[in-house]
Amino acid sequence: MSALLEVQGLTRRFGGLTAVSDVSFAVSEGEIFGVIGPNGAGKTTLFNVIAGHYKPSAGTATFSGRGISGLRSDVIARLGIARTFQAVHLFAAETVAENLRRARVLSTSHGPFAYLRSFGTGRREPDLRDVATFVGLGPLLDQTAGGLAYGLQKMLGIGMALMVTPKLLLMDEPAAGLNPSEKRAASALIRRLRDERGISILLVEHDMPLVMGVCDRILVVNQGKPIAIGSPDAVKADPAVIDAYLGDDYEFA
């Protein structure tokens, strides 16, 4: 497997606070790669820097061999990196279909000719119905997004990210707020994204059974700094990880 995303010494400061501190890792093509750590560890900030919402204070990110640090978020989206958000971001008064359509235009747009620039990236324009069916919203295309149950709103968030036909999907806490059966569905969906769509995944999640069950490798961060990287079994047995995050009485379902 070759590296799809390579992050080297990535750092992001906010005034005196270093939210992301000298983080390095590589995600292989076809990998489901987890990032875990306590609240405030810098996980969302790391996503924001990779996706171009924040500029790095130091370090680099390379995607498919191309340097992406410092590029605008719409440019990075067009290169094939999409993301889902920790909080649901959707147009509540509009239908599922309209949200998916808007996601395609908005995430890749910047300036009047943005739509034209989306041509020539070599990736197929996704079919709205196909995406809706994939995330379990096929029969609900004409429903108002704000009226959907929370779990379905989160699925719509994933569908919206798929509208840019990503090669890499950054998922920020996809299981937060879901009930146990919705969590199982989310976990299956993450696997299907990789297995059926060939999308590599960078996953931030606090639900440990889900993370440990679905990830190939995991990076653990604490106070912005990487403290461990490895297989789920290696990471959950690592004393530094138990000390900083998992706790002594941690057990798996």
Ligand X SMILES: Nc1ncnc2c1ncn2[C@@H]1O[C@H](COP(=O)(O)OP(=O)(O)OP(=O)(O)O)[C@@H](O)[C@H]1O
Smallest distance, ligand X to C-beta of residue 114, A: 25
Q: Binding of ligand X at residue 186 (CB under 6 A)?
A: no
Q: Per CB under 6 A, which of residues 47..106 are in contact with ligand X?
A: 86
Alpha carbon 73 to its chain's center: 14
Residue 42's binding partner out of ligand X, Mg ion, none, with CB under 5 to 8 Å set by partner kind: ligand X
Residue 19's binding partner out of ligand X, Mg ion, none, with CB under 5 to 8 Å set by partner kind: ligand X
In order of 18, 69, 92, 169, the CA distances from 56 in angstroms are: 11, 7, 32, 19
Q: Per CB under 6 A, which of residues 1..20 are in contact with ligand X?
A: 14, 17, 19
SS3 content of the chain, % helix, strand, coil (to 5): 40, 25, 35
Interface segment toward Mg ion; rule CB under 5 A; list 38-46, 72-80, 137-145, 181-189? 38-46
Q: Binding of Mg ion at residue 84 (CB under 5 A)?
A: no
Smallest distance, Mg ion to C-beta of residue 224, A: 12
Smallest distance, ligand X to C-beta of residue 44, A: 3
Tell me how many degrees the CA angle 216-80-35 measures, rounded to the nearest 5. Answer: 30
For residue 210, the tally of other CB atoms under 10 A from its CB is 21
Which tokens is 56 given? Answer: 């790095």
Q: Binding of ligand X at residue 44 (CB under 6 A)?
A: yes
Q: Phi/psi of residue 231, each to 5°?
A: -70, 160
- CA-nearest of 213, 148, 142 to 157 is 148
Dist. CA 71–CA 206, nearest whole Å: 29
Which tokens is 125 given? Answer: 């324009």
Nearer to Mg ion, 44 or 69 (CB): 44
- CA-nearest of 87, 83, 2 to 46 is 83
Interface segment toward Mg ion; rule CB under 5 A; list 10-18, 83-91, 212-220, 244-252? 83-91
Q: Binding of Mg ion at residue 44 (CB under 5 A)?
A: yes
Interface segment toward ligand X; rule CB under 6 A; list 40-48, 118-126, 145-153, 195-203? 40-48
Q: Which residues bind Mg ion (CB under 5 A)?
A: 43-44, 86
Q: Which residues bind ligand X (CB under 6 A)?
A: 14, 17, 19, 37, 39-45, 86
